[in-house]
Structure 1
C-alpha cells in the first residue's frame, strides 16, 4: 500500500516527469481497462484484481507536507475507499479536506460518494483559478490512453481549455476512430462558448469527414478562412469513402484551381474515385499531374494507381506500372492479383501469386480470396483446395465466410452440388448468409430445385431483406415453369416493400460516360447498339456458346 500511495517511495514516480502532470480521474479497475488499447500499459494496474475501487491521481512532484501525505495515506488505507496520490498544484487546498476525511472516517461516516464529491470540489476550484492545471491533467490522460476519463473530466469542470489540449483530444479520437467522443468534445466547445481557431476547425473537419458526416464537414470547410492541404485532403477523402466519388473529383478540381499542390494522400483518393467510376481519362490526367508534382515512389499511391488502371480495363498499363514500382508490399501484390482476377485471367493470377511468394511477400486473407475466386472462374477444383489448405497450414490465416463461399462457388460451378452442400454443412461459417447465397446461385445455374429450396430457406433465415436473391430464386423457378412459386415470391417481395435496384453498366466513350440499364432504350444510339449486340450474339452462338450454360 505504501509503495502505491506515496509517490516519494513509489517505483512509479520515475514515470511522472514523462507525463509532466498526471491526471485526476475516477473509474473502476476492470479487466477491460487493463487490456484497453492504450499507447502503453498503465503501471498502476499491474497485479491489480478487479474491484470497484476508484483511483485518483493528481499531478507530478510531491510538495505537500510529509505529515499531510501520511495522514491522507492512513485515511485512504483505513477507509478502503480510495487510493490517492497528491501533487503540488493542490497543496494548501487539501489540509482541511484531509482533516475532515480523517474525522469522518474515524466516525464511520466517510462514504465513497462524499469523499469523491469533496475531492472533486477542491480540485475544480483549483482548475477554475488556473486552467493550466486542467490542461496538464487532460493532456496526461490523453497521452496515457485514457481518453474517456479526459472527456468526463472536461464535462465535469465545464471550463474551456487551451487549443493544444482540444487538438490532442481530437487527434486521439481520430487515431482510434472514436468519432462519437470527438463530437462530444466539439459539443463542449459550443457549450462553454469556445471559438476554435483555424487549426482546430481543420481538426474538426477531419473528424467529421472520416466519420461520414459530410454536411458538417463541408460546412466547416466552407467557413475556413485559409484552406490548407490537410483540409482539402480530408474533404476529398471523405467524399470518396462515402461513395460520392463525383463530388470528390469536383473538389479535387477546385483544389487545383485554388493553386494548391497535391500530395500522395490527395492522389490516393483521386485514383480510388477514378477506379470506382471506371474513368480512365480523368485517371490518366491525374497520373500526369502526379508526375509533374514529382511525388516520390509511394506504396499507397502505387497500389491505388494500379487498381485504377485494372478497373478501367487497361491491364497492360497496370502491369507496366506495377513492374516500375520500386516500393511494393502485400497490398500492391494483392491489387495486381485481384485486378487479373476481375478480368478472368486465371493464369496471370496464379503466376502473380507465385511470383509474390518467391519474392518473400506474405499473402493475406484478401490475396487468398482473389486466388480462390480465380480458381472458381477457371474451374480449377484441385488447385482451389490446395490454396485453401495452404492458407490455413502455411500462413495461419483463419478462413472467413467469403473464403468458404468462394470454395462453395468453385464446387458449384463445376456441378459438384452435393459436395458443395456437404462442404457448407461442415463449415464453421454455416450460420452466415454469404455461404448459402453461393450455394443458391450454383443451384440456380444447374437447376437442382431440391437443393435450391434448402439453400434459399437457410439463406433467408439470415438475410431476409435481400431483394436480389429473391429475384434469383424467382428466376430459377421460372426456368422450371414453377409459376405458382414465382408468384409467391413476388407477393412476398411486394408485402415486404422490397424493390430490387436495377443493375446498370457504365462505359466511357470519347470522354463521355454512358449508363445502360437492363433493356434500356433511352440512349440516343440505342438502335445501333442493340444491332451490334445481336450481331455479336449470333457470332457467339455459331461458335457453340449457349447462354446460361457456357463458361468459357
Structure 2
C-alpha cells in the first residue's frame, strides 16, 4: 500500500475523477504526479512508483517514463518495466524513439527477444545503441549466430561498431568456436582505432582461446598496455580450458609479482587447472591462501573444484569428508563433482549415497538425471536406472536435446537427433548409411551403455 504524499495524491485524483472536476485541475495533478513518481524513484521505491502509475490511470511525461525504465534496468526489475510498457499501451500513450530504445533494451536484457525485435523493427532510425542491444540480447540468450547476422546487417547499413558491439561479437564467435568470424571482427576492430578497453580485450582473448588459437590469444594479451586482474584472469582461464597447467601457474605467479591482486574467478581457474593436472598439494595451497593471504572467502565453485581435485586423485573418502564439513554441503555442484569422481574410480557404495543426495538437491534438473543414469549404467545398476527414469517421467522432467554443429564457409549448420529440417537432410542420411561400412574397425566394440 501507499503512504504519505503518495496516498494523498491518489485519493485526490480518484475523488476529483468521481466529482467530474478532474479536467479542471489536470495540469496541476499531472505535474504533481510526475514529481511524486520521480521522488519515489530517487528514494528507491520503484515498485511503489509503478503501482501509483497504474492506479492513477494517468500518463506521465517522457522524462518520467525514461527515469522509471532506467531504474528498472539498473535494478533488473524487468517485470516492473513490462508493467510500465503495459500502462503505456492501456492509456494509449505512444512512446518517442528514445523510450522505444529504452523498452527495447529492457526486453533484450530480460530475454524476451521476440518483443525486443518488434520494437527494433518499428524504430524510425536504428541507432548504434539499438543495434548493440539486439546483438547483446541474442548473444546472452545463447543465439550467437543470430547476433552475428545482426552485426553484419548493421555494418551493411553503414553503422560503425563500438567497443560494446565488439565485446558481443567476440562472445558470439567464442560461443560458436568460430575463428573465422572472430578474426574478421578483430580486423574491423584494428581498423576502427577504438581505444583499448579491458572488456573488449578480455572478450577477444577468450574468443581465441575458445577457438583453440592459443598463440593469438597470448599475442592479444601481450599487446594490452593497461593490464588488470580481469586481463590476467582471462589469460589464466584460457590456458586452464586447454589443460595447460604449467602456463596457468606461471601466469598466476607473474600476475602476483607484477602487483595484481587475484579475485575469486582467478582462483577458480587456478584450482581447476590443479584438478586437471592432479596437483593436490598445490591445490590445497591455493585454496587455503584465498582467505589467509587475500581475504577472499571461498565460494561453492571453489569447494566443487577442490572436490573434483581430490576425486580425480582417487581420494574419494577425503573428498566426501571435505563435502560434509564444507559450508556448501547443500550446493548441488559439489555432489555432482563427487559423483563424477566415484564413477571414474568405481566406488559403488559411495555412488549410491552420493546419488541420493544429488537428486534430492536438484530434482527438476534434467542434467542431474542424465549424470545419474550414466553412472547407474556404468555400474550395471539397472533397477536403479529404471526407477530413476520412471521418476523422471512422472516428474515431467524432459531432457533438453543435444545438438551438433559445424561451420562451413562462414555458415553454421545445426543438427538434432532425427533432424530432417536441414535442406540437405536426404543426402546427409544417405552418406551416414554408407559411413559405418567404410569406417568400422572389425575389432571395435561401441559403448552403448551411456545415455
Structure 2 length as normaliser, TM-score? 0.86
Deviation at 1:479, TM superposition (A): 3.9
1:289 paired residue among 188, 205, 213: 188
Q: Distance in 2 between matches of 1:338 and 1:383?
A: 17
Query: Is 1:256 aligned to 2:155, yes or no?
Result: yes
Deviation at 1:481, TM superposition (A): 4.0
Match of 2:5 in 1: 56
Match of 2:211 in 1: 312
Deviation at 1:529, TM superposition (A): 10
Q: Distance in 2 between matches of 1:257 and 1:116?
A: 51
Deviation at 1:173, TM superposition (A): 1.4
Task: Go from structure 1 to structure 2 and tell me whether the alpha carbon gap of 1:282 and 1:527 turns closer, same or farther (over 3 Å shift).
Answer: farther
Q: Distance in 2 between matches of 1:339 and 1:504?
A: 24
Q: Distance in 2 between matches of 1:512 and 1:224?
A: 29
Deviation at 1:180, TM superposition (A): 1.6
More helix by share: 2
Task: Go from structure 1 to structure 2 and tell me whether the alpha carbon gap of 1:273 and 1:407 turns closer, same or farther (over 3 Å shift).
Answer: same
Query: Is 1:242 aligned to 2:141, yes or no?
Result: yes
Match of 1:298 in 2: 197
Deviation at 1:297, TM superposition (A): 0.5
Task: Go from structure 1 to structure 2 and tell me whether the alpha carbon gap of 1:371 and 1:534 turns closer, same or farther (over 3 Å shift).
Answer: farther
1:213 paired residue among 100, 112, 118: 112
Deviation at 1:460, TM superposition (A): 0.8
Match of 1:129 in 2: 27
Q: Distance in 2 between matches of 1:210 and 1:530?
A: 49
Q: Distance in 1 between matches of 2:49 and 2:171?
A: 37
* Contact 1:278-1:507 at 8 Å conserved across structures: no
1:202 paired residue among 85, 101, 124: 101
Q: Distance in 2 between matches of 1:391 and 1:534?
A: 50
Deviates more, 1:160-169 or 1:519-528: 519-528
Q: Distance in 1 between matches of 2:441 and 2:259?
A: 49
5+ residue gaps, structure 2: 420-427
Match of 2:425 in 1: none
- 1:420-445 deviation per Cα after TM superposition (whole angstroms, max 9, x unaligned): 11101101111121111111110100
1:364 paired residue among 253, 258, 263: 263
Deviation at 1:327, TM superposition (A): 3.0
Q: Distance in 2 between matches of 1:462 and 1:377?
A: 26
Deviation at 1:116, TM superposition (A): 8.1
Match of 1:427 in 2: 326
* Contact 1:372-1:387 at 8 Å conserved across structures: yes
Match of 1:440 in 2: 339
Q: Look up the SS of the partner of 2:5 in the other structure.
A: strand
Q: How does 1:18-417 map to 2 (within 5 A)?
A: 27=2, 54-56=3-5, 117=11, 128-130=26-28, 131-417=30-316
Deviation at 1:526, TM superposition (A): 8.9
- 1:50-77 deviation per Cα after TM superposition (whole angstroms, max 9, x unaligned): xxxx4338xxxxxxxxxxxxxxxxxxxx
* Contact 1:127-1:134 at 8 Å conserved across structures: no
Deviation at 1:224, TM superposition (A): 0.7
2:351 paired residue among 452, 470, 474: 452
Deviation at 1:478, TM superposition (A): 3.8
- 1:155-174 deviation per Cα after TM superposition (whole angstroms, max 9, x unaligned): 34322222122112211211
Deviation at 1:291, TM superposition (A): 1.5
Task: Go from structure 1 to structure 2 and tell me whether the alpha carbon gap of 1:474 and 1:262 turns closer, same or farther (over 3 Å shift).
Answer: closer
Q: Distance in 2 between matches of 1:418 and 1:371?
A: 23
* Contact 2:202-2:231 at 8 Å conserved across structures: yes
* Contact 2:10-2:55 at 8 Å conserved across structures: no
Task: Give the number of the structure whose alpha-carbon radius of gyration is greater.
Answer: 1
Deviation at 1:321, TM superposition (A): 0.3
Structure 1 length as normaliser, TM-score? 0.71
Match of 1:62 in 2: none
Task: Go from structure 1 to structure 2 and tell me whether the alpha carbon gap of 1:529 and 1:389 turns closer, same or farther (over 3 Å shift).
Answer: farther
